[in-house]
Amino acid sequence: MQRLIFVLPLLFLYLGLKAQNATYFQYIEQYRNIAISEMERAGIPASIKLAQALLESNAGRSTLARQANNHFGIKCGGNWNGKKHYRKDDDYDHKGRLTKSCFRSYKNAEESFVAHSEFLRDPNKDARYGFLFRLKPTDYKKWAYGLKRAGYATNPNYPKQLINIIETYELDKLDKISSTELIAGNNTNQSGFGVLLNNDVKMVLAKKAETPAIIARRVDVDVRNILKYNEGITSPNQILEESSRVYLQPKRSSYREQKKYHYVKQGETMYTISQMYGVKMDKLYSRNRLAKGKQPAIGEKIKLRGWKVPGNEIPKLQSEVPPPSNDPVELPAPKTEDPDVEADQFLEEINIPEKNPTPPTPPQPSQKPDSSQDAQPEKTTIQYHTVSKGDTLYNISKRYGITVERLKSMNKMQSDTIHLGQRLKVSE
């Protein structure tokens, strides 16, 4: 009898652990793809993101996860204008009594995973979390202790808890996988963000090979409205770029957040800037005193809200600026005191940047010169990438189809540290 009394608790403990393991494995299977996608986009190791989600949400079983789709325990903060969920946590009133805390509420779990990235990448929190993005992206232990150092959690055992989850479920293997290597047919969560808000305007992210007609059926809107609200979409059957923003309501006349200016980056147009901030394109043209159809030069400042720019601050056009030289040029890192330079607030403080640029086409070998003519020296075009917020050696190397070691070798780098504005050679 005594032996039975001793064995029964062990049996229940075993069954409980087995059930927990099954729940954890199911959660990992469900959200690993979005974690990998966010790793490539934002630079946060997939192992860390999943471990935090598992711990904070109890594998999706917490009240906050079930009722508010908040899998990371992110509180409202001063700038959150979205839906809210209140519950007692660790906030006290002036009399020392436990009071309800305000937590962000999301449309779905995937939106929560994206918001977690932008919470850590917020330019206003750079002094607090910025150093994390200079760590080696596969060093989950330094990331775990770095989060504790930054004050993400108050539990002194938080790093050990994350590391234990990562090593128990071998999540570190996900840090070495790219989204292109995922098994086909097993990526249902990779781009299922549903309807989101940008600048208080409803929008969706286009899935691979989607058309306006398909999106209209998916979200139950009139396809004619999609064509009306998105200036760059001209046909119901137009194949849209994956992850491009498609507005379901009229965009605003001005940007409603604190950011006042956008600095033009390579490949951006007035239309892409309009889509980025949810501001009507004709209003951007008018506010910046530019003729419709003209495109601003790289580095120019585009005003997003307020009065028209004065005559001496009209952005220069691409046609007015000579094309950049292919010769190597060392550019100083831009000052980061001004959050406008790098901030790209999105989805109620959720920032989903434009789709990564198409990897550059490597130079084609030239034909053997005719021996009857004077040989001309072959001119090689060197490709560069300018480091922006959230970039890591890992996601830059994936973007251009090279290895991290090759990237470091081309730039004579001795460490994995990069800084904003740094110009990296990505092909020779």
> Cα 186 to chain center, whole Å?
21
Transcribe 86-146 into DSSP letters.
Answer: EEEEEEE-TTS-EEEEEEE--SSHHHHHHHHHHHHH-GGGHHHHGGGGGS-TT-HHHHHHH
CB atoms under 10 Å from CB of 190, counted, come to 17
Computed over every residue of the chain, the mean pLDDT equals 76
Cα separation of 65 and 242, whole Å? 28
Q: What is the pLDDT of residue 92?
A: 67
Domains 196-320 and 356-362+378-428 share a fold: yes
* Percentage with pLDDT > 70 across the chain: 74
Cα separation of 311 and 231, whole Å? 27
**What are the backbone dihedrals phi and psi of residue 161, each rounded to the nearest 5 degrees, phi first?**
-65, -45
> Which amino acid is present at 91?
D
When pLDDT is cut at 50, 70 and 90, the band that residue 275 belongs to is very high
* Percentage with pLDDT > 90 across the chain: 26
CATH class name, domain 196-320: alpha beta
Please name the residues in contact with 221: beta carbons below 8 A apart, sequence gap of 6 or more. Answer: 215, 248
Cα separation of 368 and 345, whole Å? 51
pLDDT tens-digit map of 135-169:
887 899 999 999 999 988 888 899 999 999 999 88
When pLDDT is cut at 50, 70 and 90, the band that residue 381 belongs to is low
CATH architecture of 356-362+378-428: Roll (3.10)
Cα separation of 84 and 76, whole Å? 7
> Which amino acid is present at 64?
L
Which stretch of 4-18, 49-63, 339-353 has the lowest confidence by average pLDDT? 339-353
Residue for token digits 């980056």?
265
> Cα 23 to chain center, whole Å?
27
Rounded alpha-carbon distances, angstroms, from residue 390 to 41, 117, 135, 136, 342: 8, 9, 12, 13, 10
Is pLDDT of 292 > 80? yes
Cα separation of 60 and 51, whole Å? 12
Residue for token digits 């006349």?
253
Provide mean pLDDT across the span 403-407. 77
User: Greatest CA separation found in the chain?
Assistant: 103
Please name the residues in contact with 164: beta carbons below 8 A apart, sequence gap of 6 or more. Answer: none
Please name the residues in contact with 180: beta carbons below 8 A apart, sequence gap of 6 or more. Answer: none
Please name which of 266, 262, 263, 296 lies closest in space to residue 385, comparing C-alpha atoms: 266
When pLDDT is cut at 50, 70 and 90, the band that residue 373 belongs to is very low
Residue extents of the structural domains in the chain: 23-72+114-181, 196-320, 356-362+378-428
Provide mean pLDDT across the span 243-269. 87
**Topology of the domain comprising 23-72+114-181:** Lysozyme (1.10.530)
Token reading at 285? 């043209």
Question: What is the torsional sign of CA 80, 85, 86, 90?
Answer: negative
63 vs 180, which has greater pLDDT?
63
Contact 341, 388 (CB under 8 A): no
Provide mean pLDDT across the span 255-283. 88
Question: What is the torsional sign of CA 282, 285, 291, 293?
Answer: negative
Cα separation of 406 and 422, whole Å? 17
Token reading at 47? 């192992």
Greatest mean pLDDT range, 45-59, 71-85, 129-143, 182-196: 45-59
